[in-house]
Amino acid sequence: MIQSQEKPDRVLVRVRDLTIQKADEVVWVRARVHTSRAKGKQCFLVLRQQQFNVQALVAVGDHASKQMVKFAANINKESIVDVEGVVRKVNQKIGSCTQQDVELHVQKIYVISLAEPRLPLQLDDAVRPEAEGEE
């Protein structure tokens, strides 16, 4: 049951619409956490929405504390999150994402629906091709 007392004033942007034309804009995105990788004072997330995905960076600075980086790194895969961030153009294309020319520099992150730590079927397993002889 939804128990929200007020409706937040935000417009969600689709991941597929995150392009160079939106560079330096502050946007809200609702997506699933596909992967997360923490290293030192930063955490890289891959956010997925349908078949589109974008890299998001949570780094210690003006908008993120070390606790926020740790929080982001510990969000379970397939959890649904709302992210406010600045779209930034990248110097080198991001080969692992569909949105290769931009990344999202996270200012705020909210978990909307937390997934189980270990799902019965992992998405990575579902898309892996069968090896020959395993029929």
What CATH number should be reported for the domain holding residue 77? 2.40.50.140
Residue 120 lies in a domain: no
What range does the domain containing 24 cover?
15-115
| pTM of the predicted protein model | 0.81
Residue 130 lies in a domain: no
Residue 127 lies in a domain: no
Residue 58 lies in a domain: yes
Q: Which helix (H) or strand (E) holds 59?
A: strand 52-59
Nearby residues of 130 by Cβ (< 8 Å), 6 or more positions away: none
Furthest C-alpha separation in the chain: 56
**CB-CB neighbours of 63 under 10 Å:** 15
Residue 125: pLDDT above 70? no
Residue 133 lies in a domain: no
Q: Which helix (H) or strand (E) holds 82?
A: strand 80-89
Tens digit of pLDDT for each residue in 26-54?
Answer: 999 999 999 999 998 999 999 999 999 99
Q: Are 78 and 31 in contact (CB under 8 A)?
A: no
Residue 104 lies in a domain: yes
Residue 94 lies in a domain: yes
- As a whole-number percent, the residues of the chain with pLDDT over 90 amount to 73
Mean pLDDT of the 96-105 span: 95
**Domain count for the chain:** 1
Residue 134 lies in a domain: no
